[in-house]
Amino acid sequence: MSNVWAVIRREYLQRVRSKWFIFSTIAGPLFMIGVMVVPAMMATRSAEAERNIAVVDRTGVLYDRVAPRLEDAGYTVSRESWTSDVVPELTQEVTSDELGGFLVLDDETLATGRAVFYASSRPSPFRQLAIRSAVSRSALEKILDDHGMDSQSLMGGGELDVELLASGGAGEGDPRFVVAYVGAFFLYFMLLIYSVSVMRATLEEKTSRVVEVVISSMKPWHLMLGKILGVGAVGLTQMGVWLLSGGLAFSAGLPALVAARPELSSMESVSQYMPGVGLLLLFGGFFLFGFFMFSGLYAAVGAMCNTDEEAQQAQMPVTLLVVVPVLMLMPVIRSPGTTMSTGLSLFPFFSPILMFARVAGGGAPAWQVVLSFLLMALATVGVAWVAGRIYKVGILMAGKRPTLPELWRWVREA
């Protein structure tokens, strides 16, 4: 087995050291973070003067409710009482940049939540939202309190006690829906990228003729195994780096960010989209089994072809096995309990994506998950047996691509 180890080591180091790997590992999360955080940062980053706002409360009852909310959103608030010339005075302060703007609350505010904000430039949508919600929530709270209602509970979003009659799926608003959908897609990308690279590596080895030297020193099966394990380890490494940096960003970075910029506190709601440890482990398991099955098949495709063009065509059936579950993703997450969903997600080649989606969406009983892993294990052995035989014959074969009957003969005779 020492030569399998040599192949794993070569494959792993060669890939991990490559510029592509380093780039994609670092750039991937940076890009994601960039997409989410940078606009928020840009929107909230502003001069100190802009954070100073005055509130003119003509109702006389809203200021005490509005001010703390605005302060939570990062504003420094000062109270101005209503006089006939307060508006020109404050306008003067705004134009001279002493004040970021001023908010006028009147009876209409109490009735409809409508208020006027005077500023020299239009505030960002983010800031507009913060001010608007501070005003409307204050007005609502005032009205509810006046009627002797429990404004705290009502405005906290109420409470829903769910009594499950049957295992249900996740609606689109449910955080679990997002986790299931995004997770399954991510799984699909990783599976496709890394299994196809096993095919490319096999093809390259074959066309560059290195394989003749290597095969004279080791069994084809060992080479294939080493290749798959090496590439798989690269995939796990990449995901490990992402997981670690993501976990760090979430556990240390986010609180620090929120502490520094309270107006970003809404970002803490991201936490509900964070998968738990159990789900991450399942993700890893589904990736590994999926990768073993698909990379075995892709390795066989690579071994039976001689050119990239041939491989493009020959990989179609295998690629279908990866793509079809993605097409089924939506219906399966929405109604995970149907016979159709259960059946599809138990089909070993579909399990990595569909069973993961059902688990993450909260719609798969444990026994089905266990069963899917058993079936995937069986399928992996089957793939290894068939693909190993095709690989063994194909890797040294030149000339035209084999037909299906020829392939079958390879499998039988190898």
Interaction site with other proteins (CB under 8 A): 2-3, 6-7, 10, 14, 18, 205, 208-218, 396
| Closer by beta carbon to other proteins, 10 or else 137 | 10
The minimum distance between CB 294 and other proteins, in angstroms, equals: 24
The answer to whether 380 touches 289, Cβ cutoff 8 Å, is yes
| Closer by beta carbon to other proteins, 208 or else 269 | 208
- CA–CA separation, 24 and 10 (whole Å): 20
The minimum distance between CB 391 and other proteins, in angstroms, equals: 14
Q: Is 1 exposed, middle or buried (0-12, 13-18, 19+ CB in 10 A)?
A: exposed
The minimum distance between CB 210 and other proteins, in angstroms, equals: 4
Tokens 């506190």 belong to which residue?
265
The minimum distance between CB 217 and other proteins, in angstroms, equals: 5
Neighbours of 248 (CB within 10 A): 11
| Closer by beta carbon to other proteins, 35 or else 213 | 213
The minimum distance between CB 305 and other proteins, in angstroms, equals: 17
| Closer by beta carbon to other proteins, 223 or else 282 | 223
| Closer by beta carbon to other proteins, 267 or else 396 | 396
| Closer by beta carbon to other proteins, 294 or else 410 | 410
- CA–CA separation, 398 and 307 (whole Å): 10
The minimum distance between CB 208 and other proteins, in angstroms, equals: 5
